[in-house]
Amino acid sequence: MRKVSLYLLGVLVFTALCAASAGAVQYQIQDLGIGTAYDVNNSGQVVGDAFLWDSASGRRDLATFGGTNSVARSINDSGTAVGMATDYAGHGYSAAWTNGQITKLCLQNGMAWDGDAWGVNNAGHVCGASLGRAVLLRDGTATTVCRSPDGDCYAYALNDSDDVVGYQPYPNSHVHAFLVKGGVDFEDIGAIDTFFHPATKAYDINNKGWVVGFIWNQDPLGIQQGIVWTDQGWFRLNGFGSSNCAYGINNEQQIVGDAFTSAREWHAFLWDSTNGIVDLGVLPGTHDSRAYAINDNGWIVGESGGRAVLWQPIPEPSTLLALLSGLAGIGAMAFRRRGS
């Protein structure tokens, strides 16, 4: 009987380990309603087109300044979200939402208008764009972080060290990705492969300083390709789709975006160094999807067929850990009994 019990324990452990392997690449997709989801924090709060969602309270509308439109593009681990909201006349303002309350952000010192906030870090510092300038807002002071004299600059994301990424135009009509370390030291990271792929954009950065975006030819038939910048250089995301783009990265170096598949459809993907690029699929009845952000727990958000969606790993890492811990406990008890 003891041998049978140990045999069954071995089968269960083997099954759990197989589930762990499969869980790294298998995801379930959840419909969060109309619109697009742009970000998810480590508490599982999701923000997007005019909404905040969590598993406890479901989907809730975001407040405006009296208008009809709002969009939250980023949310930090404290639950502060930033984006844009309109007033009764339809004018857009940079906005922050905290505990259901909305406030205006002054992305130009002394002015709270014509702006769009794109990123917020865990210190509450914000990056975005206002009056054609890429801006970092910290402790109430707004600083322009781009170098282009012509405007049309965008700051899309920042990490907890206030490293800001985005893109700006250059005189040759191309755009280049940039990195501003600590909000001060500007670096043009987009001047790569300039003959074949003269244009680059950076969309996200994690706390280890990895930056993601894409590189492409600026023409109607230009092929774009996801790209990652690290302190060791840059590399392309190959292996899925004739074109792809990287939009988000977490602190585990997992990257999400979208790719143009052989079926001539755009599909959301997940990339990591172990599994490469994995197709996340689409909502039933739709043909396309995009993934914009991933938190450190592996939760991914984006859109599919015009619906905001959330992808969660199967099984949940915490659930699997609890299962393995339980099986380890059973094994320990079995061996203790065998020795007594």
- In three-state secondary structure terms, 323 is helix
- Tell me, yes or no, whether 67 and 20 share the same domain: no
Q: Do the Cβ atoms of 164 and 155 come closer than 8 Å?
A: yes
Placement of tokens 């450190």 in the chain: 296
Q: What is the pLDDT of residues 270-280, one digit of tens each?
A: 999 888 889 99
- Tell me, yes or no, whether 247 and 337 share the same domain: no
- Nearest to residue 127, comparing CAs of 110, 111, 146, 113? 146
Placement of tokens 């970092």 in the chain: 136
- Tell me, yes or no, whether 33 and 12 share the same domain: no
How many domains are there within the chain?
2
- Tell me, yes or no, whether 54 and 199 share the same domain: yes
- Tell me, yes or no, whether 157 and 193 share the same domain: yes
- In three-state secondary structure terms, 8 is helix
Q: Do the Cβ atoms of 179 and 211 come closer than 8 Å?
A: yes
- Tell me, yes or no, whether 9 and 144 share the same domain: no
- Tell me, yes or no, whether 3 and 66 share the same domain: no
- In this structure, of 8-17, 80-89, 146-155, 184-193, the range with the lowest mean pLDDT score is 8-17
- Tell me, yes or no, whether 111 and 240 share the same domain: yes
Task: Quote the distance between the C-alpha of residue 186 and its chain's center.
Answer: 23
Helix axes 317-339, 2-23, angle to 10 degrees: 160
Q: Do the Cβ atoms of 301 and 37 come closer than 8 Å?
A: yes
Task: Band the pLDDT of 163: cuts 50, 70, 90.
Answer: very high
- Tell me, yes or no, whether 16 and 39 share the same domain: no
Q: What is the pLDDT of residues 95-135, one digit of tens each?
A: 999 998 999 988 765 555 567 899 999 999 999 988 888 99
- Tell me, yes or no, whether 204 and 268 share the same domain: yes
CATH number reported for the structural domain that contains residue 241 in this entry: 2.130.10.10
pLDDT for residue 23 is more than 80: no
Q: Would you give the DSSP letter of residue 172? A: T
H/E run at residue 336: helix 317-339
pLDDT at site 21: 46
Q: What is the pLDDT of residues 47-82, one digit of tens each?
A: 999 999 999 999 999 999 999 999 999 999 999 999
- Tell me, yes or no, whether 225 and 322 share the same domain: no
* Domain region containing 228: 28-314
Full-model pTM: 0.84
Q: Do the Cβ atoms of 250 and 296 come closer than 8 Å?
A: yes
- Tell me, yes or no, whether 328 and 204 share the same domain: no
